[in-house]
Chains A and B, each alone.
Chain A
Amino acid sequence: MMKNEKGTRPRAARRLVALAFAFGVLSLTGAGVYAGLQATATSTSAVTSGTLLMTLSGDGSSGGLPETISNMAPGDVYNVYVNLSNTGTLASAAGMTLAESASPANALTNGSITGEGLAVSITQCSVAWSSAGACSGTTTSILSSTLLSAFGSPQSLSNVPSLAASTGKLAHLQFSLSLSGTETSVNGTAPSQTIEGLSTTITWTFSEQQRTATTTNA
Chain B
Amino acid sequence: MLHPHVSFLRRTAVFTAVLLSAWLAVSPAAGASAIAVASARSSVASASFGAVVTPTAVTSVPSCPSSQYCTSYTFTLTSGPGATPAFFDVWNSGSVRLVGLSYRATWGGPGGIDVTACSVAWTSGPGGPGGPGPGGQGTCSGTQTAVMTNETSGTYDPATLSGTFPPARGGEIYLEAQAGAPAPPPNAVVTVSLSVCSGGAGCSDGTTSRQIRAATTTNA
- The answer to whether B40 and A208 have CB atoms under 8 Å apart is no
Q: Which residue of B lies closest to A64 (CB)?
A: B40
Contacts of B47 in A (CB 8 A): 71-73, 196-197
- The answer to whether B43 and A71 have CB atoms under 8 Å apart is no
Across the interface, B42 reaches (CB within 8 A) one of A52, A73, A185, A204, namely: A204
- The answer to whether A209 and B33 have CB atoms under 8 Å apart is yes
Q: Which residue of B lies closest to A50 (CB)?
A: B34
Contacts of A65 in B (CB 8 A): 40-42
Contacts of B53 in A (CB 8 A): 187
User: How many inter-chain contacts with C-beta < 8 Å in the A-B complex?
Assistant: 203
Contacts of B44 in A (CB 8 A): 69, 72, 108, 118, 177, 199-202
- The answer to whether A188 and B33 have CB atoms under 8 Å apart is no
- The answer to whether A69 and B43 have CB atoms under 8 Å apart is yes
Contacts of B16-49 to chain A: CB distance below 8 A: 32-49
Cα distance A66–B39 in the bound complex, in angstroms: 9
- The answer to whether B194 and A66 have CB atoms under 8 Å apart is no
Dominant SS among interface residues on chain A: strand
Instruction: Using known A-B contacts A80-B220, A190-B48, A190-B50, determine if residue A75 contacts B41 with beta carbons closer than 8 Å.
Output: no
Instruction: Using known A-B contacts A69-B45, A132-B219, determine if residue A205 contacts B38 with beta carbons closer than 8 Å.
Output: yes
Cα distance A112–B51 in the bound complex, in angstroms: 25
Contacts of A143-196 to chain B: CB distance below 8 A: 177, 179, 181-190, 195-196
B142 within 8 A of A: no
Contacts of B215 in A (CB 8 A): 73-77
Cα distance A138–B8 in the bound complex, in angstroms: 68
Cα distance A88–B48 in the bound complex, in angstroms: 45
A53 within 8 A of B: yes
Across the interface, B40 reaches (CB within 8 A) one of A56, A75, A133, namely: A56
B residues with a Cβ closer than 8 A to A are: 32-53, 69-72, 93-96, 193-205, 210, 212-220
Can you report 27 A-B residue pairs in the complex whose CB atoms are below 8 A from each other? A62-B219, A65-B41, A67-B42, A71-B46, A75-B214, A80-B220, A132-B219, A179-B46, A184-B196, A184-B202, A185-B49, A185-B197, A186-B204, A187-B51, A187-B52, A188-B50, A188-B52, A196-B46, A196-B48, A200-B44, A201-B41, A201-B42, A203-B41, A204-B40, A204-B41, A205-B39, A208-B35
